[in-house]
Structure 1
């Protein structure tokens, strides 16, 4: 409760003893400077004219804009502060990636084994719990470590200090290893950042006027874990929404594991909006094969088969949804066309995660890299996803950009 009361005051909304009594409108919103900066970089044309005419509009919260771990372009991910920033940027849906501690308590972390890059654990007494202790860089070998939430209790987790997700592979000390923040990110907003449990994220997000998209993260430990099966784990996550009185229509539970999605569909009230995070493009099982976004024969199960299972939402990365036509213009991929034909709602990830786009955008833009040459392409890609593909939501590391576009286009 201390999280929501303190942050409600900081965000300019009423604090209350119960989250359901708070003002659902959330904190005052602002686009900040970045959307205008990106619009200024656009080439002359219809998109620039349309978006430029919206620069003076008043921001409104939109479910099209989804905070990816909050607003981690500048704030430590999965912290109170990162999510308050995302809500202030108009994100209508916020994300807690869910994993568990040694005492089977649910907490917000992008991975069960990321504490060595997202917290100060290596410089605390809890470093002794790491499954791979810090090993300094030596010769051609990079510095390494691996620290898991499953090795510590919730009380121990609460003692950690979050930081920007980064590691310095050339480090020879644990202190130096905690650095390595990408130059397009910042440590300016890290001081005093606070970790959250999953239950605390529910309380906070509701106080901020946002809805919920928790992702059940793949365990790094063998399941069952201390008697907890994968199904128990999936059930525990949605049970925390039921306990908080959150209606299923306000929740989009996610997983890369199709079995988790099918479990929610078949056994809970939260299945109608369960999101299949499709990562079959990098399948390790040779028998399963890799998805070619332009070859429907590789979509196994097919989009229609997914729909027949009860899946209504699918969420691939940006590049899976776009391709280039013979004229070099961005158009929907066969994957996108097949998903729409099967009646699937499409959500995609992750805008504003790649830093400057002058070099082609990297992994997230690989299918359209030949057209990516400056930061205004965040908006051209977003426009193609919204207008041509017809996505219903976009995860972003800086939600203001998506909020601005959605507001301008009345999405």
Structure 2
């Protein structure tokens, strides 16, 4: 991805995700302590020297830094407070994962069926509406439940209280099931957190000076749902930006379903020019083309050039698919990254700071470079390869301050 000048989609959609050349400082913006903590942990070398030299810089908003569900490392995801925190950390683009309620209203949730882990629904009267009621843990298996936004109306959704996304699989009661928050997250910022509709997220993000990257989530219900088709769903997402007067150049609509992206390209070409194909073909055997190996271009079905020929301008794989290790054990771009760049696709990636403390290889997000990952300092090392060698246009993060600091330091 060649970067980083933000211009309108009508002039050059292939570069629109990048940052304006002269971002303006925000009086309410702060990096907090985490970027400095990570820099202090780094081994001595050119990158540490560069990042250290920027410690006195003034934070500035950058479109390179994308709030992933806000700032859910420490705030309940997809809440007003989580997104305010992300904006104050300099995220230039904020995300609302979009799903729908029983009355077909769009709301911000990571999945249609996550209310049992992201809200208090199981300890309210609405628990009786859940697709799968709470079942206590037994010696044979853990506690279970499934509560969908499509199980309740928008009015009922508004009565729920959000919480950190977690569940206790050993729970014997619904109250116990609400626990399970990872020890490296926190409950400090849950009190008073507020849920949002998609339309409310548009107004909030605009008031915060941020742009928009809504993700159309795969329904948990069979479609059409009460006459509401997948195409209706995809169109309604776009219509809420049009109704709010948001220019298409400020919106990067996302979907893991290539057919949604192609729908936008054909039916809403201004928005389709910046539609993002979230690529999880590494994980979905029945997806578009089946499993792919990021280091074997022969498995890329459809190929990067075929995606570009379809009108796709943005592709967004998990970060591990973009990097690999060379014979010397150094992190370098994968064949996937090289092919995407060769086809002229803009690359966005996810998700930094979702893994907690990095040790013993860093977990799923770092699986392709696990031998080079042994401490939290590697968040910056991986970010540097993504930015400088892969050439990504933006990075989703659960704590955007880290990406913002790096981007500001490097003029991104």
TM-score by length of 2: 0.93
Answer yes or no: is the 8 Å Cα contact 1:254–1:277 preserved in 2. yes
Pairwise CA distance, 1:283: 2.1
Pairwise CA distance, 1:353: 0.2
Instruction: Kindly report which structure 2 residues correspond to 1:307-346, keeping only aligned pairs within 5 A, or say none.
Output: 307-346=308-347
C-alpha distance in 1 between matches for 2:275 and 2:86: 22
Instruction: Kindly report which structure 2 residues correspond to 1:237-256, keeping only aligned pairs within 5 A, or say none.
Output: 237-256=237-256
Q: Counterpart in 2 of 1:375?
A: 376
Instruction: Kindly report which structure 2 residues correspond to 1:180-329, keeping only aligned pairs within 5 A, or say none.
Output: 180-268=180-268, 269-285=270-286, 288-329=289-330
C-alpha distance in 1 between matches for 2:138 and 2:66: 41
Q: Counterpart in 2 of 1:78?
A: 78
C-alpha distance in 1 between matches for 2:211 and 2:26: 11
Deviations 1:85-143 (A, max 9, x none): 00000000000000000000000000000000000000000000111100000103100
C-alpha distance in 1 between matches for 2:316 and 2:337: 10
Answer yes or no: is the 8 Å Cα contact 1:27–1:87 preserved in 2. no
Q: Counterpart in 1 of 2:15?
A: none
Secondary structure of 1:234 counterpart: helix
Q: Counterpart in 2 of 1:167?
A: 167
Q: Counterpart in 2 of 1:101?
A: 101
Q: Counterpart in 1 of 2:63?
A: 63
Secondary structure of 2:181 counterpart: coil
Cα distance change of structure 1 residues 27 and 194 upon mapping to structure 2, 3 Å threshold: farther
Pairwise CA distance, 1:26: 6.4
Q: Counterpart in 1 of 2:395?
A: 394
Secondary structure of 2:282 counterpart: helix
Secondary structure of 2:219 counterpart: coil
Instruction: Kindly report which structure 2 residues correspond to 1:37-48, keeping only aligned pairs within 5 A, or say none.
Output: 37-48=37-48
Pairwise CA distance, 1:55: 1.0
C-alpha distance in 2 between matches for 1:279 and 1:297: 17
C-alpha distance in 1 between matches for 2:138 and 2:358: 33
* Structure 2 residues not aligned, in runs of 5+: 1-23
Deviations 1:307-337 (A, max 9, x none): 0000000000010000000000000000000
Q: Counterpart in 2 of 1:6?
A: none
* Structure 1 residues not aligned, in runs of 5+: 1-23
Pairwise CA distance, 1:285: 2.3
TM-score by length of 1: 0.93
Answer yes or no: is the 8 Å Cα contact 2:324–2:368 preserved in 1. yes
C-alpha distance in 2 between matches for 1:370 and 1:408: 27
Pairwise CA distance, 1:360: 1.3
Q: Counterpart in 2 of 1:353?
A: 354
Q: Counterpart in 2 of 1:16?
A: none
Pairwise CA distance, 1:288: 3.4
C-alpha distance in 2 between matches for 1:28 and 1:250: 22
C-alpha distance in 2 between matches for 1:138 and 1:263: 45
Deviations 1:124-163 (A, max 9, x none): 0000011110000010310000000001000000000000
C-alpha distance in 1 between matches for 2:286 and 2:242: 36
C-alpha distance in 2 between matches for 1:114 and 1:159: 16
